Amino acid sequence: MMNLAIFGFGTVGSGVWEIITNNPEHLKNKTAQSLNVKYILDIREFPDHPAASIITKKADDIFNDTDVNIIVETIGGTGIAYELSKRALLSKRHVVTSNKELVAAHGPELFDIANRNKVCYLYEACVGGGIPIIKSMKESLEANKIESIEGILNGTTNYILGQMFSNKISFADALKAAQKNGYAEANPAADIEGYDSVRKLAILSSLAFNKFIDYRKIPTEGIQNITLDNLEKAFESGAKIKLIATSKMQGDKLIASVRPTLINESHPLYNVEDVNNAIVLNCNNVGQVMFYGPGAGKLPTASAVVGDIVDIAKTMIA
């Protein structure tokens, strides 16, 4: 049996618990052992939740239990999540994370600690929600040099722009709906102002160009000033406005940005609607490939987390 602990019982953390609890046989067939969520760490109370008996506020309860091999970090942010992730890796636990802010800001340090302690720090859920982009870049595309990246990397903003245009609703109402659906960040300014997209772009670019790309150096503009009038005028001219993230290397220099962009019908990202994300990679051997799917939300993001857990569990003897 593989025991794990989930740190943070919000949208993604509860989704991870749900997938593991609802699919025991399927997951056992994949990993040749049962996955057991032994603890959930959260400072909030969940008295009526079926997992209430395993929820603790004390991280020490978990760190003192040597049967726990995998920590799932879905707390978010760079505060306590950073401290707990470091502690988990230093205590030789594998860590699976959906925390893109942490990976974008402290990835190199955390990967290094993981390497030195011979454990994994996996982050598929950090980019593209349920889209399997990280593993594809790390493994399936290894024969290629990635020349450029272009994508819609934030589900909330794509959803807001679509809702405003299709249903003629205000920015504020579209945002409320995105929050209700569990798409937006705890502080949705990160979505709207483009910071969530740029962190994801930096994570993908670091992987593609094999060096740490600091998201703080990438010019970033959000969708906060886009009006329904802008969307309608764009449509009249045969285009849509999307929050587009791009990056490529020119010699030693990274050319990258996140900004609302007019794209026309012939563009591969034109039909990416709703909460979906898509990532277009231009590669030297395969040519252009596009990854598409739900970019946010409880089960899509938790699906990516559980995929990483299964990968680790497969390599560990029961």
**Which residues here bind ligand HSE, judged by CB under 6 A?**
129, 154-156, 183-185, 191, 196, 295-296, 301
Active-site annotation holds for 200: yes
Provide, rounded to whole angstroms, the least separation between the CB of residue 116 and ligand HSE: 28
Q: DSSP label at 54?
A: G
Number of alpha carbons in the 13 Å side-chain half-sphere of residue 248: 11
Provide, rounded to whole angstroms, the least separation between the CB of residue 146 and ligand HSE: 21
Q: How would DSSP label each residue in 97-113?
A: E--HHHHHHHHHHHHHH
Bridge partners, 39 (sequence order) = 5
In angstroms, what CA-CA distances link 237 with 31, 183, 263? 52, 30, 10
Provide, rounded to whole angstroms, the least separation between the CB of residue 267 and ligand HSE: 20
**Is residue 64 classed as helix, strand or coil in its secondary structure?**
coil
Can you tell me the distance from the alpha carbon of 171 to that of 129, in angstroms, rounded to the nearest whole number? 23
With respect to ligand HSE, which residue has the nearer C-beta, 20 or 131?
131
**Is residue 52 classed as helix, strand or coil in its secondary structure?**
helix
Q: Which residue is nearest to ligand HSE (CB)?
A: 156
Bridge partners, 195 (sequence order) = none
Name the pairing type of β-strands 55-56 and 68-73. Answer: unpaired
With respect to ligand HSE, which residue has the nearer C-beta, 59 or 294?
294
**38, 200, 240, 298: which one is catalytic?**
200
With respect to ligand HSE, which residue has the nearer C-beta, 150 or 196?
196
With respect to ligand HSE, which residue has the nearer C-beta, 154 or 206?
154
Provide, rounded to whole angstroms, the least separation between the CB of residue 199 and ligand HSE: 9
> Active-site positions?
200
